[in-house]
Every structure is written in C-alpha cells, then in structure tokens.
Chains A and B, each alone.
Chain A
Amino acid sequence: MPETPTDPEVQALLDEAYALPDSAARDAIFESAARRAEALGDLDTAWDARCAILQSAASHAAPKFETLFMCLAWCFAVSDDDPDRFNPASILWQYKWIATDAPGYASVPRAVLERIVDDMDDRFVRAGWGRRAGLHKRIDLAVLLGEYQRARELIPAWLAAPRDRGSDCLACERDTLVWLHAKLGDHEAAWREAKPIVRGQLSCATVPHSTFGRLLTPLVRLRLEDKAAELYQRGRRLVAGLDEGAHKLISPYFLHAARTGRAEECVALIRNSIRPAADLRADLDRLHWFGRAGCALSMLAEQGVGEVELPAVGGLTGPGSSEPGELARRFLTIAGDHAAALDQRNGNSRNARWLHDPD
C-alpha cells in the first residue's frame, strides 16, 4: 500500500520540531503537528509525532507531564485498537516515567494510581519484558504515598526479579534505593548505596543530578559535612547545566545553602528558579519547591538577612526587595495547601510532617 504523503503544513511543523533540541517548546510543536495530522485522518503521522514527544521526555528535565499523560493516553488508545500498525513497544519505556509522576498530582485518586502501575506491569509482561520495572514503580508509588515500610517490603522481590529491556538503568534503580533509605531515615544505608553514583560509576540522564540532592540531608545528619559540601557543589553545577527543568531539582540545594549559612547562594538559586517554579502544575513539585524555599527563607530571616531581591512573578513576588520572613510565610502557605491535598489523597500526614522539617 503506498504511503500517504504527509500534509505540507504538518510536515513543516515536524521539520521545525525536529530541528529543535529536546525541550518543552519542541514538545508543543510536535503536539500541534500531531493534532493537525489527526484532524486530517493521518494517524500514522500523529503517532510518530506523539512518540517523539514521549521519547524526548526521557531526555529533558522539564516535560509538561499533563501533555505526556495526554500523549500516552492517545497512543495506547490507537495502539490497543491496532497493535500491528502502532507498536506498543515503542512507548512502553516512557510509561515508567509517567507512572512515577502521576502520584505527584493530588487530583489523581489513589485507586487510579494503583491501576496505572497494574496496567504498566501488565503491558510490560505482555511485551515479554518481565516484572522488574513494575515492581520498581510499585516501590516508587509506595514512597510517594508515604508508605515507606510497604516500599521496603517490596525491595527483595524487586531486586530478585530478572533484569529486562524495561529495567535496564542501573543508575535509576540505585537512585531509588538511596531515596528510599533516606526516607526511612537510614542515612548510612542511603550513603552506602550512593557511593557508586558519587564515584561516577553509575550515571544516566537524571542521575546523579537527583541523587546528590537526596543525599545532602543524610550526609549532614551523619555529620559528613565535608561530603555534603562536595556534593552540594557538584550537584548544584549539574542541575544548573540542565537545559530545562533545573527548578524541579534545585530545591534541596537552596535549602542546604540556607542551612549552611550560604545566604547569597541560596537567594541566587531561588531567584533563578522562581519563575519556572511558579508554572509547576504537580502538587508534589510545588510542595517541594515552595516548601524548601519557605524553609530556606525562614532560616535566612533568622540569620539576620534583612531583604532579598527576587524577580516580580505574578501572585508570588512583587517588584523590588522583600523581607525574607514575609516571603517564607507566603511560600509555606502555598506549600501547605499542596501538602494537605496530597495527604488527603494519600490518607496520612506525611507531607504535612515533611513540611515542618523538609529534607
């Protein structure tokens, strides 16, 4: 059967998108091309464009997850209808990212989150990929729901499951272990698990950026301040080097800066990330940024910092300088709302408690 030529306007959008680096702007242009192709009945081009969005989401740190959810929903819909034409294996790997981010939205009911992981697990098994990635995501979900013991109980089964195409990132798996141990308060275990990452033996698109941030508080509590200082410098640099999405990973660093008396660095990190942070949609992302920023600014106020200058961002900050204590109250109120929404969904008070002493 001859291939249907792509509509010239759709093709122009595709050409435009392919010429850009992975970024939210590129995703938006692909989405535009996909919608127009779909409206013209060209499902193949729409599929290709949406797969491109899903694939690029794995390599840049600021995908708009709402867009990704839409993409994935659409792709599974057409693939389930005609799996020979739209190969589901092309999008399964991306499913993992999305399954991890859904719990960050308080509006997604707990039962739906459980079903997403079940669905992912099921699709992976049907593709012949095994259960290791599914178990990994169950641990992620348990941690995000604040059920750390349940997450810990799943570890043996997870690590015993054979590795497969869907679970081929050693760095991501190690990062999860560090995260879980840190959440459980086992700082020594977190540090022990992190060492191959710290030494540079394990890395990927998101590791060690994420890991170094997770380690700052455990290292301080282990009184390894020198190590914390080293990882603070290394991690801050890595996060700043990201093309987009630094605002989602930077908050542990400005909190650490405030805790260790680096007021200027703290304010600079908040200043550089406040504008994109204001655009964050997921409750958990907003809780983390505003919670840590509020906590950091409270510390600066206690340390005697009189004023901080942040850019004017609608609804958050006005023009000129502000008193850090006042900004802290404003940010902590925002964070508190998100913590409450997440806790209500999760059925516990983990996030509210976290907000009293963020890590």
Chain B
Amino acid sequence: MTNRFKVDLRGIIDLAAHHLYTSPEVFVRESIQNAVDAVTARRRIEPGYTGRVRLELTPADDERPGTICINDDGIGLTEAEVHQFLSTVGASTKRDSAEEVVDRLTGEEGGFLGRFGIGLLSCFMVSDEIVVITRSAREPDGPAVEWRGRADGSYTVRTLPDSPLPPGSSVYLTAKEDAAEYFEPEQLTDLARRYAEMLPIEIVVAGADGQTPINRPVPPWKIDPSDQVALADTCQAALGFLPLDAFRVSTEAGNVEGYAFIRSGRTEPWGGTQKLYAHGMFVADRVHGLVPRWATFVGCVLNTTALRLTASREGVHNDAALETCSDQLAGAIRGRLLHLMRHDRAAFNAVMAVHDTEIRGLAIKDAEFFDVIADLLEFETNMGRIRFGEFRREHDRLLLARTAEQFRRLSAVAGAAGLRVFNGGYTFHEELLCRAAERHPELEVLAFDTADIAGLWPEPEDADRYRALIEAASPALQAREAELVVREFEPASIPAFFALGLQAEFHRQLDQTKSRASGLWNEVLDAMAPRPEALSPTRLCLNTRSPLVRRLADMPDPTLQRTGVEVLFVQALMAGQHALSPAEWALLHGGLETLLARCTGEG
C-alpha cells in the first residue's frame, strides 16, 4: 500500500518564511519580483505593453498598523489560477515556460525572475495575513478574485463580480507587531531601491508625501565604457569607493555583464565585494566563488541572466556554470592588469602600490601573468627593497629567510658580512621567489637561517685565548641545550649571537608550550617534536671582534666568566627577539646579582 506524507502547512510556511531567507526584508524583493513577473507575462500576450509596479504605503496610526499594497498591472490570475498557484506551496505561474520566456524576452526586457513559487510566503514574515485581489488580463471580462491567506495555512477565495479593478494584481500586507519597521516610508523606499532600482520595469513607492521613482535611468551594465564619470558615480553609489580604474567585463557562462572597479584603497584581506543582479533584481553583495579570491582589490557590479540562483535567491549555486563564469571573470581582470602594465604604466604602478599582496597572489596562480610581472616585483632584503629582475641579472644565488623572525635576526649580521638576504616571511614572497627560480634555473634559491650564517663565520686565529672561557661557561649552556663557540664576525658591536635553525626554533617553542600545557597535550606535543638528527646545532656564538668578549676571555675568574656568558646568552636571545622562558629570566637576574655582588665586594 502506498501512503502519502502528511504535510503540516503551517510548518512549511514557517520553514520557508523564517529559515529559507536571511532577513524579513526580502519580502520586498519577493513581492516586487512577483509583480514584475506578472508584467513580463503580460508583455508576452501584448507585445509593446510597458506596465508598472507601485508599492503604496499607508503608515500606521494610533488605531491601525501600517499596510503596504503592492500593485501591478500585469497578467493577473483567474479564479482557477488563484487556487492553483496562490494556494499550492511550491507552485509557480512561471515554472513551466520560464526557459521559453527567457529566450524570447532577453535583452532590454529580461526574463522571468522567479522560479520557485514560494516567494509569496516570505510576506508572512511581516504580515499575518496576505490579501491578493487580482483580475486576469487574458480574461478581462471575468470577475476579479480575492484570495486571503493566513500564516496558519488556511485561505479563502471569493469572486468580486462588481469590482471595477483593471487587469493586474494587488497584494495587501498588514504589519505584524514585530515588523512595523518595514512599513516605514524611508525603510520601504530604501529596500525597494536596493532590490529593484536596476529593473527595466517602472517601480514607484507611493505614500503620504507623494511618489518616489525607484528605477535608475540606466543600469550600470548599460553605461557607456567611455563615460568614466558615470562609472565612478556608480562605483561610489554601489560599492562605496571611487575607483582607480573601471573596465567592462562580460562572460558567456552565466551570461554575465557589468563593470569591474579597482579599489583606490586597501581593503580587509580577502574582503572583496560585488553586487550581483539577476535580470536586474538584486541578489547579493557577495557571491562566494564568483570573483576569484585573489581579486578582492576589484569590486564588481554584475548582472546575470543565466546563473542558477538558490531557492532563497540570495545566492548562486556553486556549479560548473559559476566556475566557468569565475574563470572568465578572472581572465578579464588579469587581461586588464596586463593591459595597464603594457600601456599605462603609471596606472599599473598605482594599482601595485595599493594592492601588492593581491597581485602577488595572482602571479602565483597564473604562469603567464607571472612571467610578465616577475621582474617588476619588489622584495624586502636586509639591504633595502629590490626588484627581482634587477637582482637576478647580477646574481646567481639568492638567500631566503623563510620567516620574518629569521629575517630580522639575520639582517644586521648578514649585512655586515656583505650578504643580501630576502625576507620570505610575508604572504606569497617565498612562493614567488621559488617560482622565479624555477623560471630562471641559473638562479639558485637557498633557504638561509641563523644557523646557516653562523656556519659561515670562521674561528679566530687566536682560538687558544678563549679556551678557558669556553671551559668555564660551556656547562651552563649545555644545560640549556646550546653549544658555546667563538667566531669572528661583524659587526663588532654584537658580542654574542644566538644561532638557532628553523627546526630547532620550533623545538624551543614546543618546549615553552609544554611548560604550560596539560598531560594530554604534552603527549601530543612530544609526538610533534622534530627528530634530533633533523636539528641543526643550537649555538651561542661569541664574537671575538667584540672588546667585551675579549675582555671576558682574559678574566681570571671562571665564575665571572660563566656569569658573563650567561648574561650574554640572555642578551643574545633578547636581541634575537626570542620570547624568554621563566628560567631564562632567572638566569639574567641571577647573573646580574652575581656581578653586583662582586662589584660591592659581597660575592
């Protein structure tokens, strides 16, 4: 036996009205959308018909809540259609022939906006009752029909034989207590403008103060590309900034057209915005997957007639059409950057000055773009910023600090040794330099850290002079898993240098975290520790060019020598901007106490 599900209509209405949409304000869009579709449908049977949509607001007073009447002079419904379409959740007057109509009415007039037949339910978010009075344009001699639907799922239908209503529909909403704000003139006008200002059918909001036209004379995607003033105004109004550059974009996939605008200022990382419209109706401020992630320096105002909208019409399905559309938009943006680079270098430099990180992101993903731009990219080094092209033409080896911390530690000593080190610690810098090296095999890129540079420093010729110092102080450092060595390096103003490779640095951080963490996490962190054989030796390098170190070496008292090295050890950690552990702070305090005691004759 086959049974049928029982559907709780009240639950369905609640689900659609309160969970499908992100905000009650979408009732304005859904209402306008139904009205516009009704006008579009009438155009099918009356070519040349224009039509209009009117939102009439009666504000609340002491006795009555506010009401809105959404009136259109569109196709209207017969009594049978009222039963079929208004009273069946999920039915739509447009579904069956939407494709056909879109084919016929693309271009100036656009196709149907709705597809799902659930838009009317959104009105239950702001009104407990929806009243529709309608007369069909296909049967103008038939009676007008009134439909009253309530949020509990019940409805009534009656004919109005004496009504003089012309063909079309009027939808009446009465403000619920918690939705009164949407029945204020300013709010309603703002929402109508937000959703419907680009529609090609006349929309007005009427209230006690008269009529406010909603439509823009020309939607952004129809602006002439040479009208830079109109484009700048559009960008300011739609996206909130004046652009550095504006250019037309269109894609076959999704049948998208519109403009892209390059921002004049930095934005939050990856915080790009777009305004997407479908057949002129606003869809969303940001559509995931539409504009590539690297292109957040670009804002877009776009209209689609073919991307598939989600049921709430507040987003787009993440499907193959969207992916192809995104690729085509990416190509258009990249093409514009290449155009600027080749034909308007000043404009390109202005874009680079503001959007350096994002352009680097594109260069990593796009080999062709990378090849064109690589030589122009600037990188931070310890000897100042340098363009990659300038560097590669004169060098066959590039030293790369893989983190910003390692770079800072290396800067002074590498500079003194005449070594230029690149800072790979910023987003995309290491990847770009490695990619550049792949394109230029004559250039070798070497990861370089503080352990590597210490390995380059020679032992002093008078190494014997420091033997007693090393013997006195080595045990104290071994307790901290560091080896004490003497080396000759510049600048002489640095008495000691803490050489810690990347892996060893990670190991040190693990130890510091373990000192605070609990049992389970200590076991996890133990398991994460690098294998000992993977660690480069951790060394405190005493600089034999430093007068302080030479003086320390010549001191006769091993205790003072050890204390001096302990203090230098902590000083080197601090100079390297290492976070000190409590034991290291204690070492510093203990060392200073010992030295003070000796000075005062107490020790």
Q: Which residues of B contact A73 (CB under 8 A)?
A: 513-514, 516-518, 521-522, 524-525
Q: Which residues of A contact B294 (CB under 8 A)?
A: 243
Partner of A241, one of B365, B434, B524: B365
Known A-B contacts A19-B269, A116-B524, A241-B292; A203 and B518 likewise in contact (beta carbons under 8 Å): no
Residues of A contacting B: mostly: helix
How many residues of B are in contact with the other chain, CB < 8 A?
54
Instruction: Report A1-58 residues with CB < 8 Å from chain B CB.
Output: 16, 18-23, 25-26, 28-29, 31-32, 35-36, 38-39
* Stretch among B68-76, B317-325, B459-467, B541-549 lining the A interface: B317-325
A105-B512 in contact (CB<8A): no
* A31–B579 CA distance with the chains assembled, in angstroms: 11
Q: Which residues of B contact A39 (CB under 8 A)?
A: 579-580
In this assembly, does B419 line the interface, its C-beta being within 8 Å of a C-beta of chain A?
Answer: no
Q: Which residues of B contact A38 (CB under 8 A)?
A: 579
B518-A80 in contact (CB<8A): yes
Least CB separation from B580: chain A residue: A39
Known A-B contacts A70-B513, A200-B322; A22 and B434 likewise in contact (beta carbons under 8 Å): no
* Stretch among A107-115, A125-133, A248-256, A351-359 lining the B interface: A107-115
Partner of B516, one of A74, A107, A238: A74
Partner of B320, one of A31, A109, A234, A241: A234
Q: Which residues of A contact B320 (CB under 8 A)?
A: 200, 230, 234
Known A-B contacts A69-B524, A69-B528, A243-B361; A200 and B579 likewise in contact (beta carbons under 8 Å): no
Partner of B518, one of A66, A76, A240: A76
B528-A107 in contact (CB<8A): yes
Known A-B contacts A20-B269, A35-B512, A311-B437; A29 and B524 likewise in contact (beta carbons under 8 Å): no
Least CB separation from A80: chain B residue: B518
In this assembly, does A326 line the interface, its C-beta being within 8 Å of a C-beta of chain B?
Answer: no
**Per-position contact with A for B189-220: 1 when CB-CB < 8 Å, else 0?**
00000000000000000000000000000000
* A319–B580 CA distance with the chains assembled, in angstroms: 42
Instruction: Report A54-75 residues with CB < 8 Å from chain B CB.
Output: 66, 69-70, 72-74
B521-A76 in contact (CB<8A): yes
* A273–B317 CA distance with the chains assembled, in angstroms: 29
Least CB separation from A242: chain B residue: B293
B516-A21 in contact (CB<8A): no
A25-B425 in contact (CB<8A): yes
Q: Which residues of B contact A28 (CB under 8 A)?
A: 403-405, 425
Q: Which residues of B contact A243 (CB under 8 A)?
A: 293-294, 361
**Per-position contact with B for A218-249: 1 when CB-CB < 8 Å, else 0?**
00000000000010001001101111100000
A76-B425 in contact (CB<8A): no
* A109–B526 CA distance with the chains assembled, in angstroms: 10
In this assembly, does B187 line the interface, its C-beta being within 8 Å of a C-beta of chain A?
Answer: no
* A36–B266 CA distance with the chains assembled, in angstroms: 28
**Per-position contact with A for B393-436: 1 when CB-CB < 8 Å, else 0?**
00000000001110000000000000000000111111100100
Q: Which residues of A contact B527 (CB under 8 A)?
A: 105, 107-109, 112
* A77–B522 CA distance with the chains assembled, in angstroms: 11
**Per-position contact with B for A73-104: 1 when CB-CB < 8 Å, else 0?**
11011101000000000000000000000100
A10 to chain B, nearest CB (A): 11
B510-A208 in contact (CB<8A): no
In this assembly, does B480 line the interface, its C-beta being within 8 Å of a C-beta of chain A?
Answer: no
B520-A115 in contact (CB<8A): yes
Q: Which residues of A contact B319 (CB under 8 A)?
A: 199-200
Partner of A66, one of B292, B506, B523: B506
Q: In the complex, which of the residues B327, B357, B509, B517 has the most CB atoms of chain A within 10 Å of its own CB atom?
A: B517
B528-A105 in contact (CB<8A): yes
In this assembly, does B481 line the interface, its C-beta being within 8 Å of a C-beta of chain A?
Answer: no
In this assembly, does B156 line the interface, its C-beta being within 8 Å of a C-beta of chain A?
Answer: no
A21-B361 in contact (CB<8A): yes
B379 to chain A, nearest CB (A): 13
Known A-B contacts A28-B404, A107-B527, A237-B323; A203 and B288 likewise in contact (beta carbons under 8 Å): yes
A85 to chain B, nearest CB (A): 15
Q: Which residues of A contact B164 (CB under 8 A)?
A: none
Least CB separation from A102: chain B residue: B524
Least CB separation from B424: chain A residue: A25
Least CB separation from A203: chain B residue: B318
Known A-B contacts A20-B269, A35-B512, A241-B365; A74 and B517 likewise in contact (beta carbons under 8 Å): yes
Q: Which residues of B contact A77 (CB under 8 A)?
A: 516-518, 521
Least CB separation from B311: chain A residue: A201
* A23–B528 CA distance with the chains assembled, in angstroms: 21
Partner of A116, one of B289, B431, B506, B520: B520
* A208–B319 CA distance with the chains assembled, in angstroms: 10
Q: Which residues of B contact A22 (CB under 8 A)?
A: 269-270
B419 to chain A, nearest CB (A): 20
* A105–B524 CA distance with the chains assembled, in angstroms: 10
Instruction: Report A135-181 residues with CB < 8 Å from chain B CB.
Output: none
A240-B365 in contact (CB<8A): yes
**Per-position contact with A for B440-477: 1 when CB-CB < 8 Å, else 0?**
01000000000000000000000000000000000000
In this assembly, does B577 line the interface, its C-beta being within 8 Å of a C-beta of chain A?
Answer: yes
* A35–B266 CA distance with the chains assembled, in angstroms: 28
In this assembly, does A302 line the interface, its C-beta being within 8 Å of a C-beta of chain B?
Answer: no
B2 to chain A, nearest CB (A): 23
Q: Which residues of B contact A311 (CB under 8 A)?
A: 434, 437-438
Q: Which residues of A contact B405 (CB under 8 A)?
A: 28, 32
Q: Which residues of A contact B318 (CB under 8 A)?
A: 200, 203, 208
Known A-B contacts A102-B524, A203-B288; A78 and B361 likewise in contact (beta carbons under 8 Å): no
Q: Which residues of A contact B327 (CB under 8 A)?
A: 237
In this assembly, does A183 line the interface, its C-beta being within 8 Å of a C-beta of chain B?
Answer: no
**Per-position contact with A for B519-561: 1 when CB-CB < 8 Å, else 0?**
0111111011000000000000000000000000000000000
B294 to chain A, nearest CB (A): 7
A20-B426 in contact (CB<8A): yes
In this assembly, does A275 line the interface, its C-beta being within 8 Å of a C-beta of chain B?
Answer: yes
In this assembly, does A119 line the interface, its C-beta being within 8 Å of a C-beta of chain B?
Answer: yes
B317-A200 in contact (CB<8A): yes
B532 to chain A, nearest CB (A): 13
A74-B434 in contact (CB<8A): no
Beyond the given pairs A241-B292, A311-B438, 14 more chain A to chain B contacts, judged by CB atoms under 8 angstroms and listed by A's residue number, are A21-B357, A25-B404, A28-B403, A28-B404, A32-B404, A35-B509, A70-B525, A73-B514, A74-B517, A102-B524, A119-B520, A200-B308, A203-B318, A237-B323
| Interchain residue pairs with CB less than 8 A apart (6) | A26-B427, A28-B405, A77-B516, A108-B524, A119-B520, A271-B438
A-B residue pairs, 10 tightest by C-beta: A200-B319, A73-B521, A39-B579, A35-B579, A200-B318, A200-B317, A21-B269, A73-B517, A107-B527, A108-B527
